[in-house]
């Protein structure tokens, strides 16, 4: 079969990032990258075929016919691809044509070998009906992390839920901080990412399944493209015509009560710390120079803070999860976090989070969003029993 050249869609002027690669067979169902051999294998649920793409030549080198619609594909270290399919039926009790192995090194008539699978098991007795409502597990987006772990790429479907389902609206590639999921940038793509994304080992190239095939994203050149961004996100925090200088700082989206939440003064260092929940970071203000210094990235939606008794540790309560970050103020970074034990809750109940923190003579004390009182003992969070903490109580019980 002659090689088919990839068809790239026309780009609107300066509006999108990446190229659309048209793949035969309609909307694809799965993709896998064989980086060592520079190949992509693509399956389409609406078509009984496997497409093989040679990345070095920019060609669809082969479209392999299968006996039924393909659903998924994976590649092994030896270069052979395992394909899962809908199948052609069950005879008698044995599924037919559900698995196949593709080996490009074999002759044309022997490249696809179908795998025999065991008979279906006898249907067991049904399980009792669940007593708790289960959460919906429909995954409306895709995530991809760079090999070095420094960046997280994501694309989420923002279309409203309806019946029948509307077309996917996930054509914005979000560039996230993997430590707290803060969004660094949003990049418009030419088509929506509808399923799996794959990436090369160096993180410079990525492909995502789209409506008509694949979206190729040259991530290594992302910041060589013109990106429109706000010139500033600063707002006035204070204004005093009688004093020199004006303090300014960056805020996030204030919708849902997010933004600047708490302040804490560090007199020894001449610093004022401000939790910026919208940006998942701590703003650092120099009280002597009247300027903002580099912020400290922390967890999701930080609200309350407490200074450790050593004067070098800052505890930050993150309301986006059950976590308290520990910041080394000399290193100006999060070094660890408070360890929480498993907390049992109903499957339909909301998660709990630290609402308020305070440092006392007996260590960090904090209140959770469900009203329970906790304390930190040797860096581990424990429910705090109702007991008297006064020394006279200790003496009476001795």
Q: What angle do CA 31, 35, 36 make, to 5 degrees?
A: 140
Q: What pLDDT does residue 168 have?
A: 76
Q: What pLDDT does residue 311 have?
A: 92
Q: What pLDDT does residue 205 have?
A: 92
**What's the whole-number mean pLDDT along residues 299-311?**
92
Between 103 and 136, the more confident residue is 103
Out of 134-143, 203-212, 214-223, pick the least confident. 134-143
Q: Specify the 3-state DSSP secondary structure of 116.
A: coil
Distance CA 362, CA 375 (A): 9
| Residue 266 pLDDT > 90 | yes
Residue ranges of domains in the chain, CATH in brackets: 4-8+16-116+141-156+169-224 (no CATH), 234-397 (2.130.10.10)
Do the beta carbons of residue 9 and residue 181 sit within 8 Å?
no
Mean pLDDT over the full length of the chain: 80
pTM (predicted TM-score) = 0.69
Do the beta carbons of residue 146 and residue 176 sit within 8 Å?
no
Do the beta carbons of residue 313 and residue 286 sit within 8 Å?
no
At 234, the pLDDT band (50, 70, 90 cuts) reads low
Do the beta carbons of residue 45 and residue 31 sit within 8 Å?
no
**What's the whole-number mean pLDDT along residues 298-307?**
93
| Residue 27 pLDDT > 80 | no
Distance CA 218, CA 17 (A): 8
Distance CA 309, CA 367 (A): 19
Q: What pLDDT does residue 9 have?
A: 35
**What's the whole-number mean pLDDT along residues 261-266?**
93
| Residue 193 pLDDT > 80 | yes
Distance CA 41, CA 103 (A): 12
Distance CA 208, CA 31 (A): 8
Q: Specify the 3-state DSSP secondary structure of 358.
A: strand
Q: What percent of the chain has pLDDT over 90?
A: 32
At 286, the pLDDT band (50, 70, 90 cuts) reads very high
| Residue 137 pLDDT > 50 | no
Out of 255-259, 304-308, 343-347, 392-396, pick the least confident. 392-396
Distance CA 360, CA 383 (A): 16
**What's the whole-number mean pLDDT along residues 156-164?**
77
At 297, the pLDDT band (50, 70, 90 cuts) reads very high
**What's the whole-number mean pLDDT along residues 130-152?**
69
User: CB neighbours of 290 closer than 8 A, spacing ≥ 6?
Assistant: 244, 245, 247
Between 175 and 239, the more confident residue is 175
Do the beta carbons of residue 320 and residue 299 sit within 8 Å?
yes
């Amino acid at each position: 079969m002659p090689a088919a050249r990839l068809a790239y869609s026309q780009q609107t002027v300066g509006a999108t990032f990446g190229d659309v690669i048209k793949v035969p067979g309609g909307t694809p169902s799965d993709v896998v990258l064989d980086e060592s051999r520079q190949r992509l294998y693509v399956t389409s649920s609406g078509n009984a075929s496997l497409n093989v793409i040679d990345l070095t030549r920019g060609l669809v080198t082969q479209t392999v016919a299968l006996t039924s619609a393909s659903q998924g594909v994976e590649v092994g270290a030896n270069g052979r691809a395992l394909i899962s399919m809908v199948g052609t039926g069950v005879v008698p009790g044995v599924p037919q044509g559900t698995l196949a192995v593709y080996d490009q090194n074999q002759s044309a008539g022997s490249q696809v070998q179908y795998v025999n699978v065991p008979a279906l098991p006898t249907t067991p007795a049904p399980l009792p009906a669940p007593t708790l409502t289960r959460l919906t597990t429909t995954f409306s987006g895709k995530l991809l992390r760079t090999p070095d772990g420094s960046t997280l790429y994501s694309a989420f479907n923002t279309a409203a839920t309806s019946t029948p389902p509307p077309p996917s609206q996930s054509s914005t590639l979000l560039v996230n901080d993997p430590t707290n999921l803060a969004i660094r940038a949003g990049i418009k793509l030419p088509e929506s990412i509808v399923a799996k994304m794959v990436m090369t080992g160096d993180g410079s190239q990525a492909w995502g399944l789209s409506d008509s095939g694949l979206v190729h994203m040259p991530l290594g050149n992302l910041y060589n493209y013109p990106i429109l961004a706000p010139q500033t996100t600063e707002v006035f925090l204070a204004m005093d015509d009688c004093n020199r200088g004006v303090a300014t700082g960056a805020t996030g989206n204030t919708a849902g009560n997010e933004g600047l939440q708490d302040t804490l003064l560090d007199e020894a260092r001449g610093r004022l710390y401000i939790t910026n929940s919208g940006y998942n970071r701590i703003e650092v203000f120099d009280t002597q120079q009247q300027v903002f210094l580099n912020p400290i990235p922390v967890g999701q939606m930080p609200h309350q803070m407490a200074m450790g008794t050593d004067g070098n540790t800052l505890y930050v309560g993150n309301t986006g999860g059950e976590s308290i970050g520990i910041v080394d103020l000399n290193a100006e970074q999060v070094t660890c976090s408070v360890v929480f034990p498993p907390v049992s809750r109903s499957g339909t109940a909301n998660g709990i989070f630290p609402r308020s923190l305070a440092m006392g003579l007996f260590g960090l004390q904090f209140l959770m969003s469900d009203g329970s009182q906790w304390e930190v003992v040797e860096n581990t969070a424990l429910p705090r029993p109702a007991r008297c903490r006064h020394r006279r109580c200790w003496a009476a019980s001795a």
